[in-house]
Structure 1
Amino acid sequence: MSENAVHGMNVTIRIQRFTPVPEREHARRHSSSPFGGKARGGSPFGSSSSRRRIRGKHFTQDYHIEARAGQTVLDCLLEIKRNIDPTLAFRYSCGHGICGSDAVSINGTPTLLCTAKVEDYNNPTSSQSNGANSSTNDGFRKTTPAAYEADAGNSDSAAASGIIEIAPLPGFPVLRDLIVDIDQMMNQIRKLEPYLKADGKLATTTDGQIDMFEYLQKPEELKRYELLSNCISCGICEGSCPVYAGGEAFIGPAALIADSRFINDSRDNATDQRLDAIATADGITACQSVRACSRECPRGIDVGEEMWQLTERVKSLQNR
């Protein structure tokens, strides 16, 4: 580790912000689209009603802080919210990459705030290394703490300043700043009934006693779905998918992973039903096999491969 990394890094956190405006008390006389209120027929995954885009103000804001090596981007945002700007809104919970609630786009890559290290995303630029007076007319609002103002010209105390650009997770409606609406994704997961469907019959032994091991699985059977059960529904795969856009044209990989988890479970007796449910125009058929969904999964799931496997299984079912 370099000496600069030990002392710290002057980092510019550039955040795409959004402040919603209060809804008008009276209803609008005219809809923005003559088709906006119509339900999408023929698909179990589309919205039953139109989702009106939230009105508000979009702007980009810079925050200058000194970060230490090993800090996460979430640590930086917490410092900003506590010491610089309490109005900044973002979502997080466990802070350890388990809950999946803090998914955003960092430097154009969907990822979790709590697992993104500052040194991995800090991009030093010559325009930022000149101190607090640089980029004064670039159209961005600057929020600079007094401590940074005093040390901005001291290049020995910190590494060259870089920029970390943070935006809301793509593909989801923005509610405020970095907080997006994931209700559509969660509803699509629920519609695929992500729970075990057994036949309800109690297994018995040869002497007529209830078999206490009726759901006993072999290691290879467990392996088929074990990794899939680790999905945390963070939405990163959907934010990476070029086809997904809020679920209006494609149910999205998160719901399909939930479905695949039970399709691959040897205890589940509804495989054909589950495959038939996703064999729609905006189900697995809409997947273009780009495999961008696999690149940033925080749980190590090869989402693209699972999409391909589902596609093949649906084709096999239809060709019977």
Structure 2
Amino acid sequence: MATPTMDKVEAEASASPYITVTFRIRRFNPEVSAEASWEDFRLEIDPKERVLDGLHKIKWELDGTLTFRRSCAHGICGSDAMRINGKNRLACKTLIKDIGPEKPITVEPIKGLAVHKDLIVDMEPFFQSYREVMPFLVTSGNEPTRERLQSAKDRERFDDTTKCILCAACTSSCPVFWNDGQYFGPAAIVNAHRFIFDSRDEAGDQRLEILGGQDGVWRCRTTFNCTDACPRGIEVTKAIQEVKRALITRRF
């Protein structure tokens, strides 16, 4: 068998798609310490891989105690929202090459919610706000014998807010929510919007009454953090403003 030349070995090495990346992860384990700390992990990874792939590599090959949520890994379930390089993102949609892999990639839990362990936060306050805005179709009368028809124009009215995947990226990017967890937050308002402007629904006034209180839409300071953070491209701030307008005019 011929021995490969040094030039060939170097050429193959230079052709490798892998680069060395440092993941700087905020770790927290209440069973070990009451304080969080940062821990660095160096790994070889293809820059076209996602941050979620890097986290998997760390957990499966370097430290099995690393804890984070993920499910579908395709930007649909919303489970893996976290702060990556200081911005709320889905780890499964964030490519290594797009976030400056030449510097340490910082990964930490989303803000405004209590941390259980490492990158996992307590989502119950978030879902409680979601439940309170009645995120379901409300109608009266007998159960229909066929589907409720709706025009394309009426459907278009709330099309944008149907895209929410409840990842909490928008709510946990909101400075008002950081300072006061009683605020419903952008995601709950977005999901209320989805039904307030649905022509088939009959509970718009009830939802507006809920959102018109002291913890509702008037707490919004229009910083656009929520719109910037949404991985689905929802115009969150616009939806909040439309709910405010509906509260004033009672037209929806």
- Do the structures match in fold with TM over 0.5? yes
1:65 aligns with 2:43: yes
Distance 1:192 1:67, change over 3 A: same
Distance 1:12 1:279, change over 3 A: same
- Number of equivalent positions: 239
* CA drift at 1:268: 0.3
Q: How many percent of aligned residue pairs carry the same amino acid?
A: 36
Q: Secondary structure at the match of 1:116?
A: coil
Q: Is the 8 A contact 1:184 1:246 kept in 2?
A: no
Aligned residue number for residue 185 of structure 2: 252
Amino acid at match of 1:84: L
Amino acid at match of 2:23: I
* CA drift at 1:245: 2.4
Q: Is the 8 A contact 1:90 1:178 kept in 2?
A: yes
Distance 1:292 1:6, change over 3 A: farther
Aligned residue number for residue 124 of structure 2: 183
* CA drift at 1:246: 7.8
Aligned residue number for residue 231 of structure 2: 298
Q: Secondary structure at the match of 1:14?
A: strand
d(CA) in 2 for partners of 1:5 and 1:222? 51
Aligned residue number for residue 119 of structure 1: 97
The higher radius of gyration belongs to 1
* CA drift at 1:244: 0.9
Q: Secondary structure at the match of 1:188?
A: helix
Spell out structure 1 runs of 4+ moving beyond 4 A.
3-6
* CA drift at 1:250: 1.4
Aligned residue number for residue 165 of structure 1: 106
TM-score by length of 2: 0.89
Distance 1:247 1:257, change over 3 A: farther
- Higher relative CO (Cα under 8 Å, sequence separation at least 6) belongs to 1
Q: Is the 8 A contact 1:185 1:246 kept in 2?
A: no
Aligned residue number for residue 307 of structure 1: 240
Distance 1:103 1:164, change over 3 A: same
* CA drift at 1:299: 1.5
d(CA) in 1 for partners of 2:136 and 2:165? 15
Q: Out of 135, 148, 173, which is 1:240 matched to?
A: 173
Aligned residue number for residue 202 of structure 2: 269
Amino acid at match of 2:199: S
d(CA) in 2 for partners of 1:109 and 1:200? 47
d(CA) in 2 for partners of 1:238 and 1:8? 35
Q: Which runs of 5+ in 1 are unaligned?
A: 23-54, 125-161, 204-209
Distance 1:246 1:71, change over 3 A: farther
**Which residues in structure 2 correspond to 1:50-129 (within 5 Å)?**
56-124=34-102
* CA drift at 1:315: 1.8
Distance 1:247 1:259, change over 3 A: farther
1:317 aligns with 2:236: no
Aligned residue number for residue 127 of structure 1: none
